[in-house]
Homo-oligomer: A and B are copies of this chain.
């Protein structure tokens, strides 16, 4: 990110930066597929009615209109639920896809989805208008065992752990736990309480207490109890005892405590140090009904959550048929922006090419292509010079492009290959020569912070 995007909020990478992004995407894909998640993509475009059907959302949506449409359906976008708009996340489109294709899917259906989404928000560090998300979800038909909440958290911890990023923490809470607790202390507008608690990191506990009292009519005791709950944060299941010590009893609260305990218990064992129970996590509006997750990069907390999501039991339905789901979404662009701006990882070279086949005369291009074909047959990325310039110039060309090896064939058909980093040049047979494993493909590796 040496450069500034020419359109604010729409980042683009240079080729060597894109190699880092590709490494991130390939690593995520590989981890998700190893856990049996199928790839799908949904169209970038949804109807406005579909995007807004859960009522008010806090995402800025981009509407579409055909420039050459003389009927002027531009005005339509704001009012007509059939007008088209770009999706702002991958969960809402996925829920629509599941309902539409339910007859063709085997449930519980596990999928990953890696695509761009768009939000017309004010751009800032970590917040773009066009960005890539990588989601995994499991959706059931009618019911979905809670175990999948545990599994999704573990898969994401494994996926993030395989990336060249700093240490991270999944901060996990449960809406049933919070809602049950609020009800238990007599606060029935649980959505209102969650909205206030969600502001805790931004405005602090005093102002949240004020909000709870003025806007929701909470007493001082109720406000303090809600804040005490939100203050609980443990790396093991000791949050259960801490909540119980607050002396509130409610059935939904018990259900939530049990669910969150299951997640944390498994995580302590299977992803030690990566997961905390954090009872301040609320996740704003949105469609979550149980487990909720946000994720911070340790030392980069101000970047915001790099992976969020949770359990949604009512997002997708078809008549009486319900499709409860649980999923998490990784903010790929946010992560890659941070990797690049802080030099957290680097590609071993800037192009896929391992070998440039030099020309010693313009009419040897065909023979040079024959050499290249043999090398490519063994998976060695190879390009051929376009002109028979002086060898020094051809070597310089390779150097400028970041290609490590240059191949020479003399007039007698003798082959040599030069490692232009060391200057070492050796005889080589196009039918057998292979570079070291490190040089065969581009390697992307994490760089330790200085």
Contacts and interface: CB of A to CB of B under 8 A. Distances in A.
Interface of A: 2-3, 6-7, 10-15, 18-19, 22, 33-45, 47-48, 60-69, 74-75, 77-78, 84-86, 96-97, 100-101, 104-106, 108, 110-111, 116, 118, 120, 129-130, 145, 147-148, 151, 154, 266, 269-270, 350-353, 365-366, 369, 376, 379-384, 386-387, 400-403
B34 A15 contact: no
Nearest to A370: B270
B45 A10 contact: yes
Given A38-B352, A74-B77, A145-B387, 6 more contacts: A18-B38, A18-B39, A45-B129, A63-B74, A106-B402, A154-B369
Contacts of A14: 40, 101, 104-105
Contacts of A35: 376, 381-383
A143 to B, nearest CB: 10
B43 A130 contact: yes
Contacts of A151: 384, 386
A412 B60 CA distance: 57
Contact of A400 (B41, B106, B401): B106
Contact of A386 (B33, B108, B350, B384): B108
A74 B48 CA distance: 15
Given A35-B382, A67-B60, A7 B43 contact: yes
A399 to B, nearest CB: 9
Contact of A97 (B12, B67, B84, B386): B12
Contacts of A120: 66-69
B67 A48 contact: yes
24 contacts: A7-B43, A7-B45, A10-B45, A12-B42, A12-B43, A13-B40, A15-B40, A19-B39, A33-B352, A34-B381, A36-B383, A36-B403, A38-B352, A44-B130, A45-B129, A62-B65, A67-B78, A67-B120, A106-B401, A106-B402, A145-B386, A148-B386, A266-B366, A270-B366
Nearest to A362: B147
A260 to B, nearest CB: 17
Where chain A touches its partner, the secondary structure class is: mixed
Nearest to A72: B78
Given A67-B78, A100-B6, A101-B3, A15 B36 contact: no
Contacts of A270: 366, 369
A36 B74 contact: no
B67 A36 contact: no
Contacts of A380: 34
Contacts of A69: 120
A67 B36 CA distance: 38
B36 A12 contact: no
Among A38, A118, A350, max chain B CB count under 10 A is at A38
Contacts of A130: 43-45
A377 to B, nearest CB: 9
A80 to B, nearest CB: 11
Contacts of A108: 386
Contacts of A12: 40-43, 97
A254 B145 CA distance: 73
A74 B78 CA distance: 9
Contacts of A84: 7
B3 A22 contact: no
A192 B20 CA distance: 47
A35 B19 CA distance: 16
